[in-house]
Amino acid sequence: MTPSRNPRAGARHCARCQTEFRPHEGGECPSCGRPLCRVHGGAGHLAVRCPACERAAQAAAVTAHPLPEAA
């Protein structure tokens, strides 16, 4: 089988900013593994979570610590 000569073949899109990048240039969401560009998924300890994981974390924080009811 002949390799594809399409420069966009295998391109991925960042889950946070939708930037197109090559697989070796980016990283992954530390929570779910969605692709992230080099800005958002750079070094493993500096990696940012994808928007879906951020929303899930915020929802979990709200349910764990609800705001007090107004009297």
pLDDT at 31: 86
- Residue 8 in this model has a pLDDT that exceeds 80: no
Residue 9 has pLDDT above 80, yes or no: no
Which pLDDT score is estimated for 27? 85
DSSP 8-63: TTT-EE-TTT--EE-GGG-EE-TTT--EE-HHHH-SGGGPPPPHHHHHHHHHHHHH
User: 50 vs 2, which has greater pLDDT?
Assistant: 50
CA distance 46 to 11: 23
The per-residue pLDDT for range 25-69, each reduced to its tens digit, is: 888 888 888 998 888 876 655 667 888 998 998 888 877 766 677
Distance CA 20, CA 70 (A): 46
